[in-house]
Amino acid sequence: MKVWKTFFCLFVLLVLARVPSASAQDVVIGFSGPLSGPGGGYGQDCSSGIELAVKEISSNGGLTIKGRVYRLRLERLDDRMDPTQAVSNAHRFVAQYKSPVIFSPTSTAVGALARINQIPGSSFLLAAYTSIHTYHDLGNRLLVNPTTDFLSYINAQSDQAWKRGWRSGAMVVTFGAYGDAWRRAFKQVWKKKGGRILGDFPVNYYTETDFSAPLASAIAAKPDFLLIGGPSATTALVVEQARGMGFKGGFIVTDQAKLDAIARMLKDKHKMDQMIGLGSVSDLPLPAVADFRRKYSNAFKRPPSWEAALHYSMMHVLARAMVQAETVDDPLAIRKALEKILPVAGDVYPSELFGIGENGVIYCGGVIQSVDNGAFSKTRYFLSFPKTREEFEKYKQLSKTREPENIRWWPIQ
C-alpha cells in the first residue's frame, strides 16, 4: 500500500508539472500591417519590435494583476496596407482573441480603424504608428501614437536643404494618405521659403518596383533635389534608379524611409550623397540604444530601425499601463494609465517618450541626419512639441541623451 501511494504521489506531481499554472492567462496583442510585398520589410520591422518586447515581458514572469499572472502573446495579420483588410483583421482580433490593443503602422489603415475602435462591446486601444496627426483631431479616446508629427520633419529638413542652397525640387513620393499629406505640406512650406516645386509625380511604393517613368519626368525638370519616400526598401530602389538615370542632385526623404536601411540595401553610400532624412536609431546617443541594438540584432539577425525601437518601447509602456490600471481588458483604463506611466527616458528604452496629450499623441523627439561623401553626419535630435522655450528646457532636462548640447527646439511653423 505504501509503495502504491508513493507511485501515485509521484504520478500526480509529474502531471501537475506538465500543466500550466491555472492562474496564467494569455493576453493577445494584435498587429495588422503590411507583412508581404514591397512594404513587407517595413511591417516586419514594426512587428519585430513588439515581438521582442513581448518575449522580454514573458521571460520576466509576465504581468501580475490582482494576484493573477497574464502572459502576453503577439498575433500578426497581413493587411497589405488595405484599409478594408485592416478592419477585417481588427474584427478577427477582437472576436477571436478579445485583443485589448491592436497595433497599426500605416496611415491609411489607421484612418479606417479609428472609425471602429470605440464601438461598445468590441472596442480596442488603437496603437497607431503614423506621423500624420490629423486623426487625433477627431476626438478618438482610444487612439495613441508615439511618433513625431511629420510637419516637424518638413520644417527641419527644408531648413537644412535651404542652407545647402537648394531652391528647386520635384516630388516622387508614395501614393496614399501619408504621401498625399507629405507632398501637400512640403509644397506649402517650400514655397513659403521662396523655393519652387517643378513637378509632382506620385507613385505607389507598396506595389511598384519600377519607378523609371515618374523619375524620368522629375529629372527632366532639372531640380536641385528630389523629395522621395515610402517604405525603406522601395525608397532605396528609387535612389538606385535615379542615380542610374544620371541624377546628381540631392534627396529629401520622408520620415517613413530610414537612411540606415537605405544604406544597407544600396551598399554604396555614395549613391546617397546629398541626402537628408530621418536619423539612424543606432546613432542616437541614448544609454539604452546599445543594449537594444544588441538584443534586437541577436534576435532577428539585422540592425534595428526606428519602427522597431518605437514599437518595442510602446509595447513595454502599454504593458506597464495594464499593471497600473489593474486590467488587461479595459482599453480606456489602459489608455488613461499611460498618463501615469509617462515619461520614460533613454536610459530605460531606446525611444524617449516625454508624455501624452489629451488627443493621444505621445510626445517624442525627432532625429535627422544627412549623407555627404559617403559618410553619415552626426544626428540632430530635436523636440517640436513644446509650445514655449521654457517648456523645451523642461523636457530637455528629462532627456538622458549623452549630447544635451545637440538637442534643439524646432517648433512646427
Residue 266 included in any domain: yes
How far apart (Å, rounded) are the C-alpha atoms in residues 325 and 175?
40
Which of 254, 194, 204 lies closest to 226 in space, CA to CA? 254
pLDDT higher than threshold 70 for residue 9: no
CB 49 within 8 A of CB 307: yes
| Nine-digit cell string for 273 | 550623397
Which domain covers residue 155, as residue numbers? 150-284+366-409
Q: What pLDDT does 18 receive?
A: 39
How far apart (Å, rounded) are the C-alpha atoms in residues 81 and 9?
56
How far apart (Å, rounded) are the C-alpha atoms in residues 48 and 298?
12
Domain identity same for 96 and 134: yes
Residue 19 included in any domain: no
Domains in the chain, number: 2
Domain identity same for 198 and 298: no
Main-chain phi, psi angles of 98, to 5 degrees: 55, 45
The CATH number that applies at residue 248 is 3.40.50.2300
pLDDT higher than threshold 70 for residue 22: no
Residue 271 included in any domain: yes
End-to-end CA distance of the chain: 86
Domain identity same for 265 and 216: yes
Domain identity same for 258 and 165: yes
Residue 12 included in any domain: no
| Nine-digit cell string for 268 | 554604396
Domain identity same for 217 and 136: no
Residue 400 included in any domain: yes
Identify the three-state secondary structure at position 13. helix
Domain identity same for 403 and 274: yes
- Cis ω before 343 (30° cut-off from 0): yes
* Entry pTM: 0.86
How far apart (Å, rounded) are the C-alpha atoms in residues 285 and 276?
19
Domain identity same for 263 and 404: yes
Q: Report the pLDDT averaged over residues 387-408.
A: 94
Q: Report the pLDDT averaged over residues 267-283.
A: 91
Banded model confidence at residue 299, pLDDT cuts 50, 70, 90: very high
Where is mean pLDDT largest: 24-28, 98-102, 304-308? 98-102
Residue 396's CB is within 10 A of a number of other CB atoms, namely: 18
Domain identity same for 234 and 116: no
